[in-house]
Amino acid sequence: MLIKRPRYQTIAENQVTDESVYQNRRQVLKQLGFIGAGALLSPGQSLAFNLFGDDPPGFKTHALSYAKQENDNQTLTPLNKVTSHNNFYEFGTDKADPKANAQAFKVDPWQLQVDGLVENPFSLSLDELYKIAPLEERIYRLRCVEAWSMVIPWIGFPLRALLQKAKPLSSGKYVAFETLYDPKQMPGQASVFRGGGIDYPYVEGLRMDEAAHPLTLLAVGLYGKSLPAQNGAPIRLVVPWKYGFKSIKSLVRIRITDKQPPTTWNLLAPNEYGFYANVNPKVDHPRWSQARERRITTGGLFASNRIDTLPFNGYEEVASLYSGMDLGRSY
């Protein structure tokens, strides 16, 4: 299934499947009709934004601006690695399990329920979700707490567009997310052993200002196509400045709450995984260093580069969300 992309032309099949196409950022952006290279903001330039106002001018290309850094941060992780090295414990705990076990995963029909402290609760089908906002391509780094990382060209729309539609009440301070619970389809949910001891459904949460930040994405595709099951089909969260476990997959519910919601990895090991989980090279995991990471890159199946981890995974424009907080301890 090819996703609908109302804002720009469909790119040809042979271009989509060849990730080398993505390595020339400007060429791709032109193909997708985004720019005008002049619209790019420089890395680290801060964005002022209103929680529910319009996106700042030029925003759509902002996340991509990092891709031009002359270092390892620009090279896309090849599609075959993005789709065969996964964490999706509902389908098993080994990196190859999700691809092996999720192929029959049924994502159509699908409903995403949005409720809680909102003026306008709703439930949307996939087709309706695709129309919430124009789909955009966003090239983001994904930094797993296990100290490996990828660079992935997502297709999606900002979570803030969905929130705007739901109209959160002023009492709504947090956003709670929930993955599908369906042990018949998800072997990890049917067995404590295969599911890594998680009490399913997998749940996550963000503070409202994090959720409404323009970088926070609901992804429905990658590499120009709809999401593979193992990457969280049909719709998943992507929060690029936080450790990967915050980017919850296969969403069925988004609920606005007044209290900080429980989150799966924090419930499992509160001393190892915090609620905020912002990427921070200075705060080590209790059992390993977070100073560097293994970037999964082009080359052979096991090719990777060891590189320094950046604060907020390089998305430093979010730092102001945490001013006054002791990030060293809020991990």
**Binding-site residue positions for Mo-molybdopterin:** 86, 89-90, 144, 179, 231, 236, 247-249
Residue 202 interacts with, from Mo ion, ligand MTE, none (CB under 5-8 Å by kind): ligand MTE
Min CB(219)–Mo ion separation in Å: 15
The residue sitting closest to ligand MTE, measured at its beta carbon, is: 244
Considering only the stretches 43-51, 108-116, 167-175, 245-253, report the one whose residues sit in contact with ligand MTE under the rule CB under 6 A: 245-253
Considering only the stretches 18-26, 88-96, 269-277, 286-294, report the one whose residues sit in contact with ligand MTE under the rule CB under 6 A: 88-96
Min CB(148)–Mo ion separation in Å: 8
Nearest to Mo ion of 28, 145 (CB atom): 145
Choosing from 89, 273, 312, 331, the residue that interacts with ligand MTE (CB under 6 A) is 89
Nearest by Cα to 63 from 86, 85, 82, 40: 40
Min CB(85)–ligand MTE separation in Å: 7
User: Could you write out the three-class secondary structure of the chain?
Assistant: CCCCCCCCCCCCHHHHHCHHHHHCHHHHHHHHCCCCHHHCCCCCCCCCCCCCCCCCCCHHHHHHHHHHCCCHHHCCCCHHHHCCCCCCHHHCCCCCHHHHHCCCCCCCCCEEEEEECECCCEEEEHHHHHCCCCCEEEEEEEECCCCEEEEEEEEEEEHHHHHHHHCECCCCCEEEEEECCCCCCCHHHHCCCCCCCCCCCCEEEEEHHHHCCCCCEEEEEECCEECCHHHCCCCEEECCCECHHHCCCCEEEEEEECCCCCCHHHHHCCCCCCCCCECCCCCCECCECCCEEEEECCCCCCCEEEEECCHHHHCHHHHHHHCCCCHHHHC
Min CB(149)–ligand MTE separation in Å: 9
Nearest to Mo ion of 43, 196 (CB atom): 196
Nearest to ligand MTE of 94, 258 (CB atom): 94
Nearest to Mo ion of 87, 185 (CB atom): 87
Residue 101 interacts with, from ligand MTE, Mo ion, none (CB under 5-8 Å by kind): none
Considering only the stretches 86-94, 107-115, 254-262, 310-318, report the one whose residues sit in contact with ligand MTE under the rule CB under 6 A: 86-94
What letter represents residue 155's amino acid?
A: I
| Dist. CA 260–CA 118, nearest whole Å | 16
Name the residue with tokens 């001393």.
271
Considering only the stretches 26-34, 81-89, 209-217, 268-276, report the one whose residues sit in contact with ligand MTE under the rule CB under 6 A: 81-89
**Residues near Mo ion, by CB under 5 A:** 87, 144-145, 244-245
105 lies in the site for ligand MTE, by CB under 6 A: no
What b-and-e string marks burial along 304-327, b requiring 16 or more CB atoms within 10 Å of the CB? Answer: beeeebbbbbbbebbeeebeeeeb
110 lies in the site for ligand MTE, by CB under 6 A: no
Footprint of ligand MTE on 204-243 (CB under 6 A): 231-232
Min CB(307)–Mo ion separation in Å: 17
Nearest to Mo ion of 105, 273 (CB atom): 273
Residues at the interface with ligand MTE (CB under 6 A):
86-90, 142, 144, 179, 202, 231-232, 244-245, 247-250
